[in-house]
Structures are given as structure tokens and as C-alpha cells.
Structure 1
Amino acid sequence: MSELETGLRARLIDVGVALVATEGAQALTLREIARRAGVSHGAPRRYFPTHLELLSAIARRGFTDLATRAAEAVGEGVASPRERLTALAHAYLEFALTHRGMHELMFRHDLLESGHLGLRETSLPLFSQLVDLVGRARPDADARLVAGSLLANLHGIAQLWSWGSLQLATGADDVMPLLRTALDAHLGPEAE
């Protein structure tokens, strides 16, 4: 692929990332991305033969961003597995709440080609990190199941918080007490 082609491919992804940030996943049509990129409506097909491939490339950017944030959150300054899980969960919720459109797209594997463009290799390491930390915090449990349940809980908190449902139901004005409660539910109460 020439440098010009690589540049146009990257620009299509950049436009998609910007579009999902401002208008949500539902706005990600090939025609709209092409229009905003300043190319013909057929041009994206040259680099992304299917709409799913373009959506997957956009979602991969989100997973890369989330992985970077998670790595920063779980850096060397955090000692225990519980503290690392708390930092990782907080980074996840912060990303989900501040990048709602991208977060929605990233976890819509029914819309994405998980094996395409390394999406599987981009999304699974974060879950593997979660499994590892859960295994260290709860060696008595099936770490994959607890991690999956915790991820589902975090995803639900993010979604319900963004809709305003949890604030209404709980009276909470901060998501952190909900995060701590979710961790306690999956890991047991924090030792004092």
C-alpha cells in the first residue's frame, strides 16, 4: 500500500473516530465517513471491503486507547491486586463515561469482525489482565467467570449511569461508591 493509500485509510479511521465521539455509533455509515473525509462514497470500500471492517478498525482505536489508560492506571505505584483492580475498573468506567459512542461500538461484537484487523488481539488482553488480577485477589474462585461477571457489572454501571438511571435509583452523585460496591460483591469486602 502506498503512502497516499495508507494516509487515506488512516484518515477514514480518524473521521470515524471523530464521528463516533460526537454522534455515536449509529452515525457510522460508509457514506457519512466518506463525505466527512472528503472522498467519494465508494472510496472507503477500496480500503475496507465491508462496513464491518471499517467499524472494526474504528473500534480497534478505542481498545488501544482504553488499554493505554488501563496500563497507566495499573502502573507500578499500585501494590495489591485489589488496588490494581480498583484502578483498572475506575479507568474502564472513566473511559466508558467520557467516550460513550466509542465504548458502545467497542463492545458490539455483533457489529464487528472480531478476527479482522487484530480486533481480537486488541480486546482480549484487557480481559486477560482483569482475569489475572481477579485470580490474584480471589484464588478460591474461577477467575474467568468472576472477571466476566465483574466486567458485565462495570459495563452495566457505565450504561445505567450514562442514562441517569442509577442516579435516580440510588441517589448517588458519584459513580465511585457503586464501583466499590461492585468490587466488594465480586471480590468480597475489602480487608481493613
Structure 2
Amino acid sequence: MTNTKRKWFIYSLVGIGIILISLLAYCIYLYQVINDSRTSEMDTTKTQLLEQTSYVDIHSIESFHGTNSYHVLEAMNDAGEDKLVFYPLEGEQRQLTVFDMEDMLSKNTLIETWQSSCGSCKLVNVTPALVEGEAYWEITYHDNENNYVMNYHSITDGSLQEQFKYPKMFY
């Protein structure tokens, strides 16, 4: 009787182990597929922009998801001017929204200004944002009360335009 219980216990452990390993392998596979899809879309955007416009070099590309989703590119045109390009991800006719980078406040300057006003805050991300046709710097961070905060600063002078605070719900 004891031998039967032991076999049942061993078979159960082996079965649970196989299920857990299979689940882990599936999660890793799913992560890779999703990540490859995300980065291949960025490569497609980069290729289309270089082939169909006067841009000759793309320095960086990232995503912004607001009411509409955009790929945000820092690019140089054939005249040697650095531009910030918002490439919409939806729609048949994709109208680019372009800003001159020399008219913008730099990301580093904005971060330095933000750090001096919020020394105990923990920065999460800074990304260009396009909301209702207006360009902003979106700063996301955790404040000293552990709220998740999203600030929208003017892309030209860095002035705060809008702020959203989300309190931590679970401790």
C-alpha cells in the first residue's frame, strides 16, 4: 500500500513538473513573438520613412500611445536638419506631424529641470507625446508619496501643461 502511494506521489510530481515547464516555455515563446512583432513594426516604419520621404538618417525610434498611437522618430532630412517625426500607426493616409528639433527643449535639459524640482522622485520614462495636434514631453515617474505621475510639458519651453496622478492601490 505504501509503495502505491509513493508511485502516485512521484507520478503527480512529474506531471506537475512537466506542466510547469511547458507553461514556462509557452510564456517565453509568447513574449518573443510579441516583442518581435513590436520591433518589426518599427523596422517597417523606419524603412517606409527613409524610402518615401526626404529623411536620410533616423537616430532613434520609440512608441507613444495616447488617443492615437504613433512611432516617434528623431530623424535628419537631406538638408541636415534634425526633426522630430510623429508617424501615425492607424489609417490609410498617414499624415506625418513634424517638429524642428532646434526649436525644442532638449530631453536632457527637461530632465535636469525636473530633477531639481522633484529630487526625491524616481524617473520612469521621458518620451515625446502628441495630444490633439500639440507636442509635449511626457514625463512618467513615482513621486515621494509613491503615486505614479504623468506630466505633460511643453516641448518648446518645458512649462507644465497637464498632470495626472495615480495613487498606489495595493501595498
Q: Above 0.5 in TM-score?
A: no
Relative to the length of structure 2, the TM-score reads: 0.31
**Higher share of residues assigned helix:** 1
More contact order relative to length (CA 8 Å, sep ≥ 6): 1
> Greater share of strand residues, 1 or 2?
2
TM-score with structure 1 setting the length: 0.28
